[in-house]
Amino acid sequence: MSETNQIEVGFTGNQVISLKLDGESLSRLRNGLSDGGWMTVATEEGEVDIDLAKVAFLRVASGAHSVGFGS
């Protein structure tokens, strides 16, 4: 299974949603942005339908996040 990415999708009008996507879904979303239209994205929580023509930004969290002490 591919790594999970924490992302935020910002829309025109200032709405933002946070999603957890695998690498394949993130690639599909990025590729679809140039085409516009609607896309169904599979997330850890379920499916989300996104109007790609209204996406203003896509933010992908960098690096692995962990809780607690570790090396």
Q: Residue 2: is its pLDDT beyond 80?
A: no
- Output the pLDDT for position 70: 56
- Output the pLDDT for position 1: 47
Q: Residue 71: is its pLDDT beyond 70?
A: no
The CATH number for 4-58, chosen from 3.10.450, 1.10.3450, 2.30.30, 3.30.750, is 2.30.30
User: Per the structure block, which two tokens stand in for 33?
Assistant: 């942005």
- What digits encode the pLDDT tens for the residues 31-49? 999 988 999 999 989 999 9
> Does the predicted TM-score (pTM) go above 0.85?
no
- Give CA–CA dist 45/50, Å, rounded: 15
| Neighbour order of strands in the sheet with 4-11 | 16-22, 4-11, 55-60
Q: What percent of the chain has pLDDT over 70?
A: 85
- Amino acid at site 47: E
* Domain residue ranges of the chain, discontinuous segments joined by +: 4-58
User: Per the structure block, which two tokens stand in for 5?
Assistant: 């990415």
- Give CA–CA dist 58/56, Å, rounded: 7
